[in-house]
Structure formats: C-alpha cells, structure tokens
Amino acid sequence: MKMNHVGIMVGDMDKAVEFYTKALGLRVVMNNTKVIEERESAIGRMCIAVFGEGFKGFNIAHLVTTDGIGVELFEMVDREERHNVDFSRLGIFHFCLQLPKEQFESAMKRVEEFGGEVRMDIHRYHPEDELKQAQMVYLEDPFGNLFEFYSHSYEDTYASDYE
C-alpha cells in the first residue's frame, strides 16, 4: 500500500493555496473549485455521503508534493472558527514533509512569512550518536494544522541501525 493523499481543513482557500505552494513548495494540480450540495452528480452524492445533509458546500483545491503525494485542501462554507489545537479530537494529528536538514531554516522562515508558526526548535533524534543525523521540527499552518519537517526518511529516522 502507498500513501496517496491527505485532506486538510483550512479557513481561507486563497491563503491556504498561497501558503502550501509558496511556503512549502507544493504544486497546484486543481486550483480553488467550488463544490455545492446536490444529488445530480456522482461527486455531489459522494459529498453528501461524507459530510451529511446540509453541508452547504465547500471550496477544494488539489496540490501535490515533489514525490507525488496529494494534499487536498477543504474550506467549508459553513464552519465555526478554530483558534486552538483541539487535542481531545481523535483522528489525524499531523502530517510530515521531508527535506534536507540544510533547508530547514529557510523553509521555517517561509512558513512564518506566509502566516504559519514554528512551534519548536529543530530537534535532533539520537543526539548521543554522531552518525545518526536525523532532525525534525513541528510547525503549524495559518489555520492551526500541525505538520513536521523530517530530514531523513521515516524508516531511516526510526531504524535502530541505519547509517
């Protein structure tokens, strides 16, 4: 099984597309598109099945990472504003993007420049082992969605004997 895409709720589609393309370097596959609640099309019926009756529509955009993983952005028409991370909510906690550790600082600056937040200093996994150089940092998009940067692959970061 391979990862195909992740869906993210945002509060302002134009700002989200700008953030994810300019701050994080994703590429737009399908720009901001309006989806309305209706039963005539397959997408309309699917959305009612997913969101329920009365969802009133949403804006959607499809972006892609350099390795082909999709990022689907949703902006619901009728929603309540979220200002804090809700740690009581079960489900996806964050997503992670991989980039060379030499690019962390400039990427973190772009995140802040486009309305995101750096939530911690860069952390090095296995600081006692000079051979293991994997690094990570948690960040937040302008809408409170958490994400990470990893310097190494997931497998390399957690394998006990990688070099």
Q: Report the 3 state secondary structure along 30-64.
A: EEEEEECCCCCCHHHHHHHHHHCCCCCCEEEEEEE
CATH of domain 1-78: 3.10.180.10
Q: What is the pLDDT along the chain (163 residues), one digit of tens a residue?
A: 788 899 998 989 999 999 999 999 999 999 998 888 888 877 778 788 877 888 778 899 999 999 999 999 988 877 654 434 555 666 788 899 999 999 999 999 999 999 999 998 998 876 777 767 889 999 999 999 999 999 988 887 776 554 4
pTM, two decimals, is 0.81
- Measured between alpha carbons, how far is residue 67 from residues 4, 75, 97 in Å? 10, 25, 10
What fold, for 93-163?
Answer: 2,3-Dihydroxybiphenyl 1,2-Dioxygenase; domain 1 (3.10.180)
